[in-house]
Copies of this chain bind each other. A is one copy, B any other.
Amino acid sequence: MRDVAIIGVGQTEVGEHWDVSLRHLALYALQAAMTDAGVNRVDSLYVGNMLSGELTGQEHLGALVADFAGLRGIEAFKIEAACGSGAAALRLGYVAVAGGLADIVVVVGVEKMTDALGPDATSALAMAADGDYEAAQGVSFVAINAMLMRRYMHDYGYPHRDFATFAINAHKNAVNNPHAMFKFPVTAERFARAKMICDPINLLDSSPICDGAAAVVLAPADAARTLSAAPVRIAASAIGTDTVAVHDRRDPMVLDGAILSSNRAYEQAGITPDDVDLFELHDAFSIMAALSLESAGFAEKGQGLRVAMEDEIGIEGRIPITTMGGLKARGHPVGATGIYQVVEVVQQLRGLAGANQVPGARWGMAQNIGGSGATVVTHILEKME
């Protein structure tokens, strides 16, 4: 097994791109990443995407994007794992390079949620849940998260206002990210006045429906030094899964899939949570941020929100999260999100995060979650000296 490095990254601005098609979004990110890597050919293409069929009437994105990007003929796939599709695609690109079956691979995460052909995005996103036992009861994806949030508040005694800390932190960081959808700060007062979406989840507890694409180029680490001025090593790539339906879980307040995924990643990288300098977690809803901090080992059970309230999640804190805005403020084009997270970790490890730079960052972790915790993909990246 070979060490694998990221030698190029690219991303589009996240937003409502009414005038840009899905294939163009993918192209822009892919071209940016290949330009950054300085390569003009790759062995294979992995496209992470969840909703192209449902929302744009287009499947078969592997061959489609390959051809549109001038890479006709190469091996190409679409990978789907709900909102974890992006990082799942990266995991498979990693497997190919680590195992020696490919040398240069490009992984693109892309989602086009505006301009939907048929159903609205909320209906489409319910396909991440269990169709027969959750969605068939009329439970939307935000409703599932609302139940988790209510239970968390009940079990641990937090008032809703405490969750403001996640949105405040994410928006503060997004101000300095030119690719973020919401480049403005929010306050606790604004959080308190935010429109209720699905009690207790309000607008500022929620990530937005949006479009975007991000890409990374992979190469064997030993070749990466000559290919890139600032390669970043993938020290771990791991997936853990759990039941899709929340009611089947051992404990709805514990993301067992995230515990499995995180622990597998720490073991691969040979580090512990104490070594992690920043953590791009999956804050699709603020409750997910709290649960992720706990499952990944940065807080005890029920203390994820406490850790955030004590300001440990800021750029200068013990465990900086959502350093470029996270799903909340950079935006959450679902199948692209896992790659955006990794692109941002690379920016941090390259020392190119500008005003949001985590000082001396060496180890960065990105965790992308599909569904309400059923597929959890963790990547740990290390700065190459």
- Does A63 contact B81, Cβ atoms closer than 8 Å? yes
- Does B100 contact A1, Cβ atoms closer than 8 Å? yes
Answer yes or no: A240 CB below 8 A from chain B CBs: yes
Residue of B nearest to A57 (CB): B131
- Does B56 contact A131, Cβ atoms closer than 8 Å? yes
- Does A57 contact B248, Cβ atoms closer than 8 Å? no
The interface stretch among A179-187, A307-315, A369-377 is A369-377
Chain A: interface size category: 35 or more
- Does A64 contact B95, Cβ atoms closer than 8 Å? no
Answer yes or no: A241 CB below 8 A from chain B CBs: yes
Within 216-274 of A, Cβ neighbours of B (below 8 Å) are at 238-244, 248, 256-257, 260
Chain B residues within an 8 Å CB radius of A82? 59-60, 63
Residue of B nearest to A78 (CB): B80
- Does A128 contact B60, Cβ atoms closer than 8 Å? yes
Answer yes or no: A299 CB below 8 A from chain B CBs: no
Answer yes or no: A53 CB below 8 A from chain B CBs: yes
Chain B residues within an 8 Å CB radius of A37? none
Nearest Cβ on chain B to A330's Cβ, whole angstroms: 23
Chain B residues within an 8 Å CB radius of A238? 75
* Distance between Cα atoms of A138 and B242 in the complex (Å): 41
Shortest beta-carbon contacts, A-B, top 8: A99-B99, A58-B131, A63-B374, A59-B127, A75-B239, A60-B82, A78-B80, A63-B241
